[in-house]
Amino acid sequence: MEVLLSPLESAKFIAGNSKDVFVDEDGARRVAESLFDKASAAEFGLAGWKSLHELNPRSAGEEAVDWVFLVDTLNFSFWSEHEDRKYLVKYKGKTYSGYWSLCAAVNRALDDGIPITSASYFATMTLDQIRHVFRSDTEVPIPLIEERHRVLNESGTILLEKFGGSFLTCVKMSGKSAQKLLRLVLDNFPSYRDEAVFEKKKVSFYKRAQILVADTWSVLEGKGHGSFNDISSLTIFADYRIPQVLVHLKAMKYSEELMKKLREETVFKSGDREEVEIRGCSVWCCALICKHLLELYEKKGQDMREKINAVLLDYYLWDYARDHREEMKDIPFHRVRCIYY
């Protein structure tokens, strides 16, 4: 087996050999043009991570970084088999679904005095304690509860043994490099190794590892230990929502055969060709959108490389997908049960 390709190299290779998913270059350019005015607005920037999302930590201290590590260790697989029967968590008078239900459950536990973000606690949590912390306010439990138990015990034990129980220690070791922090996470935490084989090449997505680095950058407000000088080298995070919004915005297309399988709610396995093509083409499509956006600003004599990168584009598109659920209901998302996204 040859060398493992980086997420960006993987995306380019997959998009160049994909059979059922197509990146539409003109569509990507049109999306960039539609984002032109928004890209310089506040909600597109780093500050939006806190100002737009009430469940995210307000502070930028060690406990906020630990919150990010815990949440991103569990940041996977929130989709439900039936849209009308799903895992929901009520918190401070509001009902949260999907990814936000995870954050609501974590904040509910902290309010109840459960030190859920402390490695010394989650390293040895029992399955029953996990069931209690992530209990649902419907009859539908959080998906993959046993896997969540396993990855929490595993990650907590490693954080204790190698980093004194604090993810901030790991961040400090990265020397303000996003790529070094990404490498530290991948080398030490097995559940973050999100890889596949495509056309006999080893490809990578590293969705949770990259979003962990991005959320660390965000919670530290791009300052101090979080002032990563290479944050623009990250790709978007290949989940199951970004592909949906890219198809909705006509920057990406599926073959008829694939669309039929998605509409039939086929459950794919992690590493299936269709899944790898959907994820890889999404990453490549967003790399093109970023490139076009920067070129549009350059034509206006503006260097926006500090303001526009795949992380901020991803956050914007993910929030867009959340806010336009109704308009996007005819675009199916791909279903995989896994711990990677």
Ligand X SMILES: Nc1nc2c(c(CN[C@H]3C=C[C@H](O)[C@@H]3O)cn2[C@@H]2O[C@H](COP(=O)(O)O)[C@@H](O)[C@H]2O)c(=O)[nH]1
Active site residues per annotation: 239
The reply to whether 315 sits near ligand X by the rule CB under 6 A is yes
Q: How far is the CB of 7 from ligand X (least distance, A)?
A: 12
Contacts of 128 (CB under 8 A, 6+ apart): none
How many helices (DSSP H) and strands (DSSP E) are in the chain? 15, 8
267-268/335-336 β-pairing: parallel
The reply to whether 240 sits near ligand X by the rule CB under 6 A is yes
| Candidates 33-41, 118-126, 160-168, 311-319; binding stretch for ligand X (CB under 6 A) | 311-319
One character per residue 268-307, x = contact with ligand X (rule: CB under 6 A): ----------------------------------------
| Candidates 168-176, 183-191, 239-247, 292-300; binding stretch for ligand X (CB under 6 A) | 239-247
| Candidates 173-181, 192-200, 235-243, 294-302; binding stretch for ligand X (CB under 6 A) | 235-243
The reply to whether 222 sits near ligand X by the rule CB under 6 A is no
Q: How far is the CB of 41 from ligand X (least distance, A)?
A: 16
Q: Name the maximum alpha-carbon separation found in the chain.
A: 58
- The values of phi and psi at residue 85, to 5°, are -135, 95
Using the minimum distance from each CB to ligand X, give the nearer residue, 297 or 321: 321
Among 10, 18, 73, 75, binds ligand X (CB under 6 A): 75
Token readout for 4 is 């493992």
- What's the DSSP call for residue 137? S
Q: How far is the CB of 300 from ligand X (least distance, A)?
A: 28
Q: How far is the CB of 49 from ligand X (least distance, A)?
A: 5
Report the distance separating Cα 289 and Cα 26, nearest Å: 10
The reply to whether 340 sits near ligand X by the rule CB under 6 A is no
Using the minimum distance from each CB to ligand X, give the nearer residue, 78 or 254: 78
The reply to whether 314 sits near ligand X by the rule CB under 6 A is yes
- Do the Cβ atoms of 90 and 105 come closer than 8 Å? no
Token readout for 128 is 């029953």
Q: How far is the CB of 2 from ligand X (least distance, A)?
A: 28
